[in-house]
Amino acid sequence: MGDGQLPGRLLLLPVPLSGGQIDQLSGVVLEQFRQTRYFLAERPKTARQVLKAIDHPLPQSQLEVREISADEPEEDLQWMRPLLAEGHDIGIMSEAGLPCIADPGHLLVLGAHRRGIRVLSYPGPNSMLMALMASGLNGQRFCFHGYLPRKKDELQKKLHDLGKLCLHQPVSQIWMETPYRNLSMMSAATANLPGQLTLSVSVQLGTPLQQSLTRTVKQWKEIPFDFIADVPAIFVLGNTERSD
């Protein structure tokens, strides 16, 4: 049974990308942050740093920031319900960028919909879409894979599969990697992807140091790519020989 039209709302609030500044956020988002007292966050410590940086009018002691239960949304929904019934809005915050995109929270949002809780999303920075924008690859059809497998044999198979997809379908394939593994990921990609495919790498998006470079896999084998070492990176793979 749903909760009906509770007066409080669930707000999906963006935060700056890693290394980015508060000016990545719009005035509307900042105002909504400052009007909200209760939050569910991927990491409460980081969330509180953001709330401090935006000059939230309430002292930290009066702000309640709870860690999202990634696999047990019912716990968070039970916590939310009395607050929503009293008319309080509750903000959802990611570690970086948009909440629920390659981050915890989607099960919580689904549960909110099923209970008749109003869900509002707000625009903000998203590294996946920013990398796709800067890649020059197909922005009409694309698929985001999150993190690829870490084990060498599984990663090789996944890269082979992505390469085959790109050879036969005009769909951009997007993935991310932990910064310290970027160089090994790039080495695996150049070793296991067809040379004629195009691979774009974007790093440090949302910062003054951001950089995007698009080359064929064959060309990547001939140039240094140490600029991607130990920094946030997004990889976009596509086939520029296909126009359908």
pLDDT tens-digit map of 98-152: 999 988 899 999 999 999 999 999 999 999 999 999 999 999 999 999 999 999 9
CATH code of the region 9-121: 3.40.1010.10
CATH code of the region 127-238: 3.30.950.10
Please tell me the distance from the alpha carbon of residue 112 to that of residue 62, in angstroms, as a whole number.
Answer: 25
Bigger pLDDT: 197 or 2? 197
**Residue appearing with tokens 């296991």:** 192
Dig out the tokens for 67 from the structure: 């860690």
Q: How many CA atoms lie within 13 A of 36 on its CB side?
A: 26
Domain extents in the chain: 9-121, 127-238
pLDDT band at 72, cuts 50/70/90? confident
pLDDT tens-digit map of 37-52: 999 999 999 999 999 9
Task: Report the pLDDT value the prediction gives residue 243, as an integer from 0 to 100.
Answer: 54
